[in-house]
Amino acid sequence: MDARFNLFDNELAARFAKRFAGAALVIHGSSLPKSTQELVSLRASQINGCGHCVDMHTKEAAAAGETAVRLHLVAAWRESTVFTEAERAALALAEEGTRLADAHPGVSDETWARVRKHYDDDQVAALVSLVAMINAANRLAVIVHQRGGSYEPGRSAAAVG
């Protein structure tokens, strides 16, 4: 199935995308580890069923050196031994911050305490912003049926310029 609407061919959508990408650059330029950024983006995208974003973040993480084992285990991170305690805290925040519409109570105090234990203020700001941004990106792609499978690593960075 083709996408319902090309967000990059519409002037208004293109202007929005430019500003959205600019906000994402702030997160990408933060001290939050790049591997953590990709793992969090991948997990939220899996939960939201966003094939385009799962494709993108899997390929970007692999291109940056992430192992296949870790990428395959993101969906079952609680039942694996390959993630650090800091990454596990970030993945828990990603899940709890993503599942708000599933009658989830939100981010628990326990998860928040684990995040605060492992990340400084700037990293927490980046992590919270990342969870919000990836959820917004997932919704944009899912609404217009932007499919996964054809993403080439580096394409999103090249598009921002």
Rounded distance, CA 91 to CA 43, Å?
A: 7
145 token code pair = 């049926």
57-99 pLDDT per residue, tens = 999 999 999 999 999 999 999 999 999 999 999 999 999 999 9
CA-nearest of 63, 94, 87 to 156 is 63
CA-nearest of 140, 142, 152, 131 to 60 is 152
Please tell me the predicted confidence (pLDDT) of residue 159. 56
Region 26-150: CATH code: 1.20.1290.10
pLDDT at 129 over 80: yes
**Which residues, 6 or more positions from 50, have their beta carbon under 8 angstroms from its beta carbon?**
137, 138, 141, 142, 148
**Which residues, 6 or more positions from 92, have their beta carbon under 8 angstroms from its beta carbon?**
111, 114, 115
**Which residues, 6 or more positions from 55, have their beta carbon under 8 angstroms from its beta carbon?**
148, 149, 150, 151
Q: Which amino acid is at 106?
A: G
Domain ranges in the chain are 26-150
pLDDT band at 26 (very low <50, low <70, confident <90, very high): very high
pLDDT band at 54 (very low <50, low <70, confident <90, very high): very high
**What would the DSSP string read from start to end of 70-134?**
HHHHGGGGGG-SSS-HHHHHHHHHHHHHHGGGGT---S-HHHHHHHHHH--HHHHHHHHHHHHHH
116 token code pair = 């605060």
CA-nearest of 151, 33, 26, 147 to 91 is 33
